Amino acid sequence: MKRHIHLILFLSIVSLGACQKQSHIFPLFQEAEILMGSRPDSSLYLLESVQSPENLPVAEYASWCLLITQAWDKNYVEHTSDSLIDVAEQKQLIKEMDL
């Protein structure tokens, strides 16, 4: 019986650890968001350093799209397409549907 309790405890801890998985890219997004108001050029540099953002998980790609669009605006970079805004908007709609 004691062995079963240890096994259940171990599996519970492993399962909870898997749920808390956070991407390595998330801190970069946080830093870019912090810099956006005072140093938008640095924010843009950080966001442009992400290689192949379209290969990120959907939620992270949507966050990247939103942040890069905001950084472009703050740095007066001309937009040639609304496709990145569309990705961010679709993610927001999905999030609202889940609530």
The pLDDT tens digits of the residues spanning 60-95 come to: 988 898 899 999 999 999 877 677 667 666 666 566
Helices (H) and strands (E) in the chain, counts: 5, 0
Q: Measuring CA to CA, which residue among 65, 57, 67 is closest to residue 30?
A: 67
Entry field: residues in the chain: 99
- Look at residue 16 in the predicted model and tell me its pLDDT: 47
Contact 14, 28 (CB under 8 A): no
pLDDT beyond 90 at 7? no
Cβ burial 6-35 (10 Å sphere, 16+ → b, else e): eeeeeeeeeeeeeeeeeeebeebbeebbeb
pLDDT over 70 percentage in the chain:
60
